[in-house]
Structure 1
Amino acid sequence: MRYICDFHIHSKYSRATSRDMNIESLEKWAKIKGISVLGTGDFTHPLWLKELKAKLEPAEEGLYKLSNQQNNVRFILTSEISCIYLKHGKVRKIHLIIFAPSFKVVERINTQLSWSGNLSSDGRPILGMDVKEVLKIMLNSSPECLMVPAHVWTPWYSLFGSRSGFDSLRECFEELSSYIFALETGLSSDPAMNWRLSALDKYTLISNSDAHSPAKIGREANVFEGENLTYNSIIKAIKPKKDSSLDSKSKFGDRLSFVFTIEFFPEEGKYHYDGHRLCRVRLSPAERKKYGGICPNCGRPVTVGVLSRVDTLADREEGFTPTKARPFNKIVPLVEIIAEIFSQTTPTSKIVNEEYQRLINYFGNEFEILLNVPIEEIIKISPKVGEGVKKIRRGEIKIIPGYDGEYGKVQIFNREEEKKLNQKTLF
């Protein structure tokens, strides 16, 4: 059995999120996308936690489902926390994802976190705490919890971020480093970029959407295979197997394997390249070095993006693959493919939505289309979409990289290819 999991999302109680980020919409979109397990996000927020308790009921051990519904979508209790604090003479801003096995454990975590900040202010609370203190609270609440540093390369609010992060995990977590088992790569990096740091070989790399609206869930995800899907089997599959206490057969008899991740093309991420958004200046790492890290238009420092930051900390050449590296597949969201085909500037237009729903109704879900359905079968139903999916699976697309908070721009077809496709569809 295969399970696609997206652990990091936000609720309607987080800043800059859709009001549709409620349990019912999330379950609906999980089915549309083909997601088996979805993180609840924001369990630290009192109103969201109240809603989760009211609308979810226990399913498999440590997992939940929408009450009184016959469906296969499961929820796992997760939340993101923002830590802003001073360490080694520098302000640090780090985001953390926490996994919890039960509402009882969540309540323990929330009680202790509330002593250091207002959990009601934001679905992703901002706390003036060292990440080590949050880790201690989590472990004291339950040893079954898991902490994962979020989007570890984002310039702001991340473990290795160029603006407020550290140069190593050890520098950040110090004597508690051994309790960190996994890292979230974020939209602007992929596993291959992280493989350039030998220090990261010991950590599992996970990928999530960090969605702020229902249609964005599943932009990135994690794929597991096996039987007896439970909270513990997921956590054990994430934790590196070198830990002798974490073999594939747990005390509960769980067996699950983490087989690959589903990735955004990192160039499409908001912080892949360096640059200065206000001046619309996009710079490659080489160009940033040429200008001394200064915007050539206004003279202000540019935002150093993920690609440059990886290059700064890397001790391996680009293209290196560790022996036990987990594979990954890159995707472009289906609505973006359709929007380009119909020459739509927004993927939320009526014509895009109608074609999207038609394809979902025919093939079942989005991941099935992007990853599994034979190209010739897609072409029978939608020739241009089929050709687009084929190019994406082969990695034959062009992307203008994102920078300083601006998403990159994907171009699937060049003008000559568009002309040929239009001629084909006429006959």
Structure 2
Amino acid sequence: MKNYFVDLHIHIGRTRSGRAVKITGAKSLTFSNIIRHARDYKGLNMIGVIDSHSPEVLDEMEDLLKAGELQEHPEGGLNYGGMSVILGSELEINDESTQGPIHVLCYLPTLQKMRDFSKWLKNYMKNIHLSSQRIYISGRVLQKKVKELEGIFIPAHVFTPFKSLYGKGVRNSLAEVFDADLIDGIELGLSSDTSMADQLAELHRYTFVTNSDAHSLAKIAREYQKIEMAEPSFRELGLALSKAEGRGIKANYGLDPQLGKYHRTVCAECLAYNPSFDEACSVCGSVKKVKGVADRIQELRTSKGNQYERPPYIHQVPLEFIPGLGPKMLEKLMDHFGTEMAVLHSVPLDSLKQVIPEKTAITIDKARKGQLAFHAGGGGKYGKITD
């Protein structure tokens, strides 16, 4: 068994021809750029590309297979020089059983099964080329199709105020929309962590995953997990999510929830902090609020959240959040130490000081030790480091 760094939620911004896939994604976020950046710059061992259903993306993967740059793993996934690429699709469910739109992640083991899935999806959505599109079937029907294709099904960023399971998708329980037995894991999102999510008793049975939901190359691996597996393949990922045969997530690495964009409740107009959702904003008088994840979880709370079986959730500050660490200095770190994973996990403080200013090196070290203070984010605005 070995430990692997894994980020399972990375968007395609554009195809190689320049066609939009994730409209809000960066133009540089092509499939070829993603796999190179994730392996060589970020230092990841497995990634999930969750717009793989888009036909032009599938064609690019096919061409890379023919050119020998990718190889299909016999146990599922595509191998890119030692890094595994898991083919996924983010979809939006919003039917008579939901209170609002819900995003979900569907992963398939092979290129052919993803092609089959793409052809099937085309019958139930308006634009198969785009990311995160509404699919005009129920959540349970989608789950059954994913399982028919031997896939993995995970509700995405489940507490985000918009387009998520608990944000506005259900009143109280996931059973309102999904078959609980056909869920393979729960993606927490940037504004919550394990201790917060475990306050919902119905989630105790599931493995929690922490992913970047990257809309640019820089955002890849802002959240990820360390998974113990025999090798980086689709089958091994499934075993790890099921905590079977000695596989499993060893640690989740994610933002301190205070750094997330939706941690606290704020005024929708001026973004002032508003501890009460029912009262007018004390700054501008607006009655419109964006309910924070922390407050929503308290509404749904059915447990003390003391699940002892969970792997550690390690609050981690991505390098791009570090004050004073600009692109040139970050590039200097990469030139010396290889990857972001190395800087975040293994490079000693004294070595950092030899490459970048001491103050910045100390801030990175404090971030690794969980010694920084934050101003909490909300209403779509990230929190900030205050140290």
TM-score, normalised to structure 2, is: 0.90
Residue 190 of structure 1 aligns with which residue? 193
SS of the residue aligned with 2:5?
strand
Q: Is the 8 A contact 1:86 1:92 kept in 2?
A: no
Find the partner of 1:172 among 168, 177, 185.
177
Residue 71 of structure 2 aligns with which residue? 58
Find the partner of 2:156 among 133, 150, 153.
150
1:116 aligns with 2:101: no
Q: Is the 8 A contact 1:155 1:306 kept in 2?
A: yes
Residue 324 of structure 2 aligns with which residue? 341
CA distance in 2, matches of 1:405, 1:398: 20
CA distance in 1, matches of 2:127, 2:111: 16
1:221 aligns with 2:229: no
Matches within 5 A, 1:270-419: 270-283=261-274, 287-289=275-277, 292-296=278-282, 297-317=284-304, 320-337=305-322, 340-341=323-324, 352-382=326-356, 383-411=358-386, 413=387
The 1:225–1:263 alpha-carbon spacing in structure 2 relative to 1, beyond 3 Å, is same
| Equivalent residue pairs, number | 371
SS of the residue aligned with 1:388?
helix
Amino acid at match of 1:2: N
1:300-353, Cα deviation, whole Å (9 max, x unpaired): 231111010111111334xx431211112221121321xx236xxxxxxxxx21
CA distance in 2, matches of 1:226, 1:139: 22
Q: Is the 8 A contact 1:152 1:185 kept in 2?
A: yes
TM-score, normalised to structure 1, is: 0.82
CA distance in 2, matches of 1:294, 1:127: 36
Q: CA deviation at 1:257?
A: 3.3
Q: Is the 8 A contact 1:273 1:308 kept in 2?
A: yes
Amino acid at match of 1:164: G
Q: CA deviation at 1:41?
A: 1.8
1:206 aligns with 2:192: no
Find the partner of 1:15 among 23, 29, 45.
23
CA distance in 2, matches of 1:80, 1:404: 23
CA distance in 2, matches of 1:304, 1:100: 34
Provide structure 1 residue ranges, at least 5 long, that are not aligned to the other structure. Answer: 242-246, 249-254, 343-351, 414-427
Q: Is the 8 A contact 2:187 2:211 kept in 1?
A: yes
What is the RMSD of the two structures over their aligned residues, measured on CA atoms? Answer: 1.9
The 1:49–1:276 alpha-carbon spacing in structure 2 relative to 1, beyond 3 Å, is farther
Q: Is the 8 A contact 2:227 2:249 kept in 1?
A: yes
Matches within 5 A, 1:60-139: 60=73, 61-66=75-80, 71-87=81-97, 91-120=99-128, 122-139=130-147
Q: CA deviation at 1:293?
A: 4.8
Q: Percent identity?
A: 26
More helix by share: 1
Q: Is the 8 A contact 2:55 2:129 kept in 1?
A: no
CA distance in 2, matches of 1:396, 1:222: 21
CA distance in 2, matches of 1:277, 1:374: 43
CA distance in 1, matches of 2:349, 2:145: 49
Larger Rg: 1
Amino acid at match of 2:187: E
CA distance in 2, matches of 1:259, 1:33: 19
1:266 aligns with 2:280: no
The 1:364–1:256 alpha-carbon spacing in structure 2 relative to 1, beyond 3 Å, is farther
Q: CA deviation at 1:359?
A: 0.8
Q: CA deviation at 1:265?
A: 1.5
SS of the residue aligned with 1:85?
coil
SS of the residue aligned with 1:278?
coil
Amino acid at match of 1:6: D
SS of the residue aligned with 1:86?
coil
Q: Is the 8 A contact 1:293 1:301 kept in 2?
A: no
Q: Is the 8 A contact 2:83 2:232 kept in 1?
A: no
The 1:45–1:294 alpha-carbon spacing in structure 2 relative to 1, beyond 3 Å, is farther
Q: CA deviation at 1:38?
A: 1.2
CA distance in 2, matches of 1:131, 1:404: 27
The 1:103–1:28 alpha-carbon spacing in structure 2 relative to 1, beyond 3 Å, is closer
Q: Is the 8 A contact 2:155 2:165 kept in 1?
A: yes
Residue 418 of structure 1 aligns with which residue? none
The 1:79–1:362 alpha-carbon spacing in structure 2 relative to 1, beyond 3 Å, is same
SS of the residue aligned with 2:153?
strand
